[in-house]
Amino acid sequence: MHRHFILQKPFGYISQFVTDAKKKKLLGDLHDFPAGTMAIGRLDEASEGLLLLTTDGKTSEQVRGRHVEKEYYAQVDGLITDEAIAKMQEGVDICLYGEQYGTRPCTVFRLQSPPDFPERSRRIRDDRHGPTSWVSITISEGKYRQVRKMTAAVGFPTLRLVRVRIGNIRLTGFAPGAVQEVENFDLG
């Protein structure tokens, strides 16, 4: 019998259970997961938000497929322009493992007000360093650090990145580090 979990990954943790790196915070530090549990996709150490975990390799492969949308809220450096949003919507060139890669068209829009996320364990910065803005970016692929590379490619580096949705599963009512076991994943 396979088991499935929904987790809000906090800032500063890596999406792994074992690593050679010393002094890294791991997913197993948050909860006593069963043997064989794996993260479905990853969020880098500086990223936060929705992370799905399973003991079933088939389920992992289905979720990582291109047809499952992943939505991120990105706090970017500066007041993002309509032009930058349009470029990301059409797809931008990013560097991926030393090669140029064109991202697929995606959904991007400016958030009218900052999302109501808990304070991060490490502060982003304060107003002395200039304004920031928030955008929603929904992709159906998931290349290495893709969203961060996309915002940087249009001149607005990401300061904070939170995954808020995978398929129909939304990050609502979860505190950082919270884990919920579910029967299956409603990906839609």
21-70 residue pLDDT tens:
778 999 999 999 999 999 998 899 999 999 999 999 888 887 776 678 99
Residue 156 has a pLDDT of: 97
Q: Give me the chain's average pLDDT, please.
A: 91
Domain boundaries, given as residue ranges, for the chain? 4-65+168-182, 70-166
Residue 66 has a pLDDT of: 60
Catalytic residue among 20, 44, 82, 93: 44
Count other Cβ atoms within 10 Å, centred on residue 91.
Answer: 14
Residue 63 has a pLDDT of: 79
CATH architecture designation of domain 4-65+168-182: 2-Layer Sandwich (3.30)
What single string gives the DSSP state of each residue in 128-150?
A: GG--EEEEEEEES---TTHHHHH
Q: In 36-168, where does DSSP find H-type helix?
A: 57-64, 82-90, 146-153
CA distance linking residue 132 with residue 80, whole number of Å: 8
pLDDT surpassing 80 at residue 188: no
pLDDT tens-digit series, residues 155-168: 999 999 999 999 99
Q: Which CATH class is domain 70-166?
A: alpha beta
The secondary structure element, H or E, covering residue 116 is none
Residue 65 has a pLDDT of: 67
Task: Look up the pTM and report it.
Answer: 0.93
What share of the chain has pLDDT > 70, as a percent? 98
The question of whether 29 is a catalytic residue gets the answer no
Q: Which two three-digit tokens encode residue 64? A: 């990582």
pLDDT tens-digit series, residues 57-94: 888 887 776 678 999 999 999 999 999 999 999 999 99
Largest CA distance in the chain: 53
pLDDT surpassing 80 at residue 113: yes
CA distance linking residue 111 with residue 73, whole number of Å: 8
